[in-house]
Structure 1
């Protein structure tokens, strides 16, 4: 089954995101097992991610990501157990 170039790029980006989430979940679990509170882990993760993103892509890109994440929080898209009505 052949994929269009755009479709293939989207599939690759999706796979990379899944792998990145797996790495983050492993780091999170390790931090929790070491007794680090979730709020501290979250702040450290945000700080690291935003520092790297600003350095690589600029402030506008970081601000756009923050807005996207805010929208996902407000919509409930990031809740582990969502109730769909």
Structure 2
């Protein structure tokens, strides 16, 4: 196996894990809404969890850099529901 194909396999594994993680989060969101929790509260709780875990894993400086990157991605419309993926 070549180095390129190992890299491609690694990328596929990460992609599959991301898809599975998104499915779990979508299910948790739906369960919260079904339990009568407002989406704004679910979103806030998700951000709190993400921030705590990210700071724990990477530290405050790296988390700040990630937030700056997320801000840039948000401002370019990457997370907009109306965004069309081509």
TM-score calculated relative to the size of structure 2: 0.81
Unaligned runs of 5+ residues in structure 2 are: none
Q: Per-residue CA shift, 1:7-65, capped at 9, x if unaligned?
A: 22211111111111111100111111111111111111011011011112212232222
Other-structure match for 1:76: 77
* Stretches of structure 1 lacking an aligned partner (at least 5 in a row): none
How many residues align structurally?
84
Q: Which moved more, 1:57-66 or 1:41-50?
A: 57-66
Distance 2:84 2:46 in 1: 27
CA RMSD of aligned residues (A): 2.1
2:54 equivalent in structure 1 = 53
Aligned equivalent of 2:42: 41
> What's the TM-score, normalizing by structure 1?
0.82
Once the 2 structures are TM-superposed, how far is the Cα of residue 82 of structure 1 from its aligned partner? Answer: 2.0
